Amino acid sequence: MVYIFGKLLDKKKSVHYGLALIYGLGLFQIKVICNYSNIGFNCKISELSQAQIINICKKIDKQNLFIESFLRNIIKTEIKRLIMIKSFRGFFHEKKKKENVGKK
């Protein structure tokens, strides 16, 4: 099993697709990370060495990317701020929240 930043990656999938499952990583960042770690496009996660996995984690840290739970917390905080200042964008988030409560 390969865990990268708390996310379990399926060994059968390619590295590019597996890294895309990490919330906050896009196609461009994945290409940069794979080029830095000398990982080909067709490489599977099961074929990665321990050194390559460590290189992937180091590159994500170096780029100061917001991923997984930290990114989710930032987005929640921004939505709460928009609702609090009663902005137009916050109005629709508040409306969604009220509709979801009524459905339960």
pLDDT, one tens digit per residue, over 18-73 is 999 999 999 999 999 999 889 988 899 999 999 999 999 999 889 888 888 899 99
In 3D, which of 50, 36, 40, 13 has the Cα closest to residue 22?
A: 13
Burial class (CB in 10 A: 0-12, 13-18, 19+), 16: middle
Distance CA 64, CA 92 (A): 31
Listed in order, the ranges of the chain carrying CATH 1.10.8.50 are: 2-65
**CATH class for the domain made up of 2-65:** mainly alpha
pTM as predicted: 0.75
Distance CA 104, CA 16 (A): 38
